[in-house]
């Protein structure tokens, strides 16, 4: 039974996507204001999130709904490990721990995997398609803002195993549309994707204190006072 899940996810998460892009941290990031100390905390948080997601999805390789979306080319754990080594050094594992919001995110991923694994599709869509769609833009912004060269510290945004990102996204969406689910499950997956956006927003909001300390309240207020239209509301990814 086809329920056009990819379109439902896109349309059903537009508001959440816009809200995420208008959090203070992301708003400043998109305007080229990136504090390295805050950014490396984000990298650490993302490491715990992606480790949880990729471990759970790997266990569900034979699951009829989760298995098809577990595309190895998208995995980010190894890329994040390279970035953590860059920011924290060889002993990075001894220096990082998840923030409270990241810990809650990880807990939700594990809970969903145990209780209703189909909902992992919503988490997968929220993170990976966003990474693939905006990765190169965000990488370029971060490079300029933090005066960085090459991929060092920014491997998270580099998908070496995907030669044609546009074609891959088309395949990804087709895979979503072919998942063996009914409309009731599609509704639950969209709801979970919105929850995933809010879990991400909580991580971003925790980073705002560090960013304000780095750039000052006045500049932070200036950069975040206007709401912007979300990228998914402006055009298709």
Q: How far is CA 205 from CA 38, 159, 175, in A?
A: 11, 27, 33
Residue 5: its pLDDT value, please?
Answer: 97
Residues 73-91: what's their mean pLDDT?
Answer: 97
Residue extents of the structural domains in the chain:
5-228
Res. 235 pLDDT band, cuts 50 70 90: very low
Q: What is the dihedral of CA 59, 65, 70, 74, to 10 degrees?
A: -150
Average pLDDT of the chain is 89
Residue 233: its pLDDT value, please?
Answer: 37
Span of 52-66, 81-95, 144-158 with lowest mean pLDDT = 144-158
pLDDT digits (tens, 9 = 90+) for 18-35: 998 888 888 888 888 888
Percent of the chain surpassing pLDDT 70: 87
Q: How far is CA 139 from CA 89, 119, 132, 169, in A?
A: 21, 29, 11, 19
Tell me if 124 sits within 8 A of 53, measured CB to CB: yes
Domain 5-228 has CATH 3.30.1330.30: no
Residues 69-87: what's their mean pLDDT?
Answer: 97
């Amino acid at each position: 039974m086809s329920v056009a899940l990819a379109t439902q996810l896109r349309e059903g998460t537009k508001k959440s996507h816009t809200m995420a892009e208008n959090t203070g941290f992301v708003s400043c990031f998109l305007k080229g204001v990136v504090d390295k100390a805050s950014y490396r905390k984000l990298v650490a948080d993302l490491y715990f999130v992606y480790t949880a997601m990729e471990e759970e999805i790997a266990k569900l390789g034979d699951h009829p709904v989760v298995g098809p979306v577990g595309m190895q080319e998208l995995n980010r754990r190894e890329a994040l490990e390279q970035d953590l080594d860059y920011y924290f050094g060889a002993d990075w594992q001894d220096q990082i721990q998840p923030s409270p919001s990241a810990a809650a995110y990880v807990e939700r991923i594990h809970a969903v995997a145990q209780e209703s694994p189909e909902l992992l599709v919503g988490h997968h869509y929220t993170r990976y398609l966003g990474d693939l769609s905006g990765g190169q833009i965000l990488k370029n912004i971060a490079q300029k803002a933090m005066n960085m060269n090459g991929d060092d510290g920014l491997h998270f945004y580099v998908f070496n195993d995907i030669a044609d990102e546009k074609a891959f996204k088309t395949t990804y969406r087709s895979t979503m549309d072919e998942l063996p689910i009914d409309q009731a499950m599609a509704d639950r997956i969209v709801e979970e994707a919105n929850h995933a956006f809010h879990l991400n927003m909580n991580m971003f909001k925790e980073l705002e204190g560090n960013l304000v300390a780095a750039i000052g309240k006045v500049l932070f207020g200036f950069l975040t006072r206007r709401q912007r239209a979300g990228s998914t509301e402006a055009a298709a990814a």
